[in-house]
A and B are shown apart, each in its own frame.
Chain A
């Protein structure tokens, strides 16, 4: 009897724990998850310097943000419903939350990688063709994998022409120093750190495929539908801090120095990383998300992910997941739209910021 009671109690606790995050409603406090990466450092700076609070107060809400030392964990936490918004790449948004049944709205496309991601070979005078037959070290199933695949495609090779070793980003710089590591696909800060080595050659990078690798602020669609103020605040915060980050002034360089230090480098290092990040200003954001290129790039990405079996174990084609664009056009499954691009919140932020910061 007592034992049955015990089981019942355990079960109730488990059910309550499992389901508390599943419902969206109008509320006042929100949680944002982010991790250390070049464009995201601006978010951290906005948090530290009162910009997040300024806009949250303006909309009468509260926003707490958590810095994760582990990017994947931040995605998993967002996917499980613990966090309302997340700073993440478009590829990882599809792979984890979208495939996991979470409907995501892209509140802001922060930037596209314009050299942040690269394939690097060891040895002077190496070119991309030398990659054939090599052991490539990378984070499998990450953007590393995407840049490598695009690099191989560009010279008519496929993944079968190389062998892949999974290597976490934290260990990439150290590993490149060892004799048996001769090829790597990476992003910043690895790419920046390796650029200082005379024996490392950057043979392919994302500036050759601009506009394909996107960093974004995404939020649960049901949360932003019920609480549009939250999404508006996110967009206002982002463009506010972006303006300061890119400012050619003492305030701007102080901010960049802070962001550099917070990501383990200095002003010079951070400036170098920013130089390979193409940020989207409000006007460009509109053109970018409403354009045709983003549709083609997303199609390419879905095909890539389907090829790696990352659209879910039951996916029948690359159309398993639907992606909606601002015009209302959907590519992929219309019944399973899990990723929605929009310019609404950015447009709002532009007007609002013009009012506040004349």
Chain B
């Protein structure tokens, strides 16, 4: 009798198994939707797949009569132009501050405990303050995302610096390397693949903050649309938007993973 932990599905079975939970989810949805629609043909809670399909077509390929825009693409563009700059800014701050805290003992003494405390401020609870202090514009939304994910990035980077073998730093010093040179040539290159890992893990929280910011005050965006149509329970819009946001996040995650493999091929072995 083979142990469960030793049973390896073969290639074709593996593909089948990958599909099973996805198909099961869709089938369960269809059954539940049919049951509700049987009781009330106009039910909005679980629209049929064909209604959802029509709505997707309308959102993506038919200009909205009121604004003359293709809503899905306009919303996607608006959200990404908040999400991506925020991610870039946070990752940059995370790297620089993380390296300084991790490498410079004085900086660690000043900022280390401070960061440990600050990172526990729930960013969403700052939102009312941000809206009043910074207005309702794009700056506030991007700032919320940055505040939300940067502490995590800083702490992760600082910890990774601490993980570097002490011998490397000593050796570099024996060879006459300055602090600046050691940071640039020894620490940062080894940290970059970790930075991509941390960025991947930040996508989820970043989306949470993005949608929260867009829900409260906005004119356009994926989160805005969801909270707007929620007013009339348009699940035929909300469900495809949720799927689309999930897909975008998945693609971003996969892209960062691929970037990591291409830029730092040595890292897979090192890990």
Measuring CB to CB, which residues of chain A are less than 8 angstroms from any residue of chain B?
3, 6-7, 10-11, 14-15, 17-19, 22-23, 72, 75-76, 79-80, 95-96, 99-102, 137, 139-142, 163-168, 170-171, 174-175, 177-181, 308-310, 312-313
Contacts and interface: CB of A to CB of B under 8 A. Distances in A.
A19 B43 contact: no
A317 B131 CA distance: 40
Contacts of A137: 136, 217
B32 A18 contact: yes
Contact of A180 (B36, B45, B58, B137): B137
Given A18-B32, A79-B44, A102-B40, A141 B231 contact: yes
Given A10-B28, A95-B231, A141-B231, A18 B46 contact: yes
B180 interface: no
7 closest A-B pairs (Cβ-Cβ)? Answer: A101-B42, A22-B39, A14-B32, A100-B44, A18-B32, A101-B40, A167-B217
Which DSSP category, helix, strand, loop or mixed, fits chain B's interface?
helix
Given A72-B230, A80-B45, A18 B36 contact: yes
Contacts of A14: 28-29, 31-32, 35
A95 B218 CA distance: 22
Contacts of A139: 231
23 contacts: A3-B20, A18-B33, A18-B45, A18-B46, A72-B231, A79-B44, A79-B233, A95-B232, A96-B233, A99-B232, A100-B233, A101-B41, A102-B40, A167-B136, A171-B128, A171-B217, A174-B128, A177-B132, A178-B131, A180-B136, A312-B42, A313-B55, A313-B58
B43 A100 contact: yes
Interface in B23-63: 24, 27-29, 31-33, 35-36, 39-46, 54-55, 58
Nearest to B20: A3
Given A10-B28, A101-B43, 5 more contacts: A18-B45, A100-B40, A140-B228, A165-B217, A313-B55
Interface in B218-256: 218-219, 224, 227-228, 230-233, 236
Nearest to A70: B230
A11 B32 CA distance: 7
Nearest to B34: A15
B65 interface: yes
B104 interface: no
A101 B39 CA distance: 10
B28 A7 contact: yes
B222 to A, nearest CB: 13
A15 B43 contact: no
B271 interface: no
Contacts of A80: 45
A234 B233 CA distance: 26
Contact of B35 (A7, A18, A164): A18
B66 interface: yes
A9 B261 CA distance: 41
Contacts of B137: 180
Contacts of A141: 228, 231-232
B131 A99 contact: no
B40 A22 contact: yes
Interface in B119-135: 128, 131-132, 135
A91 to B, nearest CB: 11
A167 B31 CA distance: 37
A3 B228 CA distance: 39
A22 B36 contact: yes
B98 to A, nearest CB: 33
B45 A178 contact: no
A165 B132 contact: no
B185 to A, nearest CB: 46
Nearest to A11: B31
A314 B135 CA distance: 38
A238 to B, nearest CB: 26
Most buried by A among B39, B45, B136, B227: B136
A178 B139 CA distance: 14
B135 A179 contact: yes
Contacts of A164: 219
B39 to A, nearest CB: 4
A168 B224 CA distance: 11
B216 interface: yes
A7 B217 CA distance: 41
Given A11-B31, A167-B217, A309 B45 contact: no
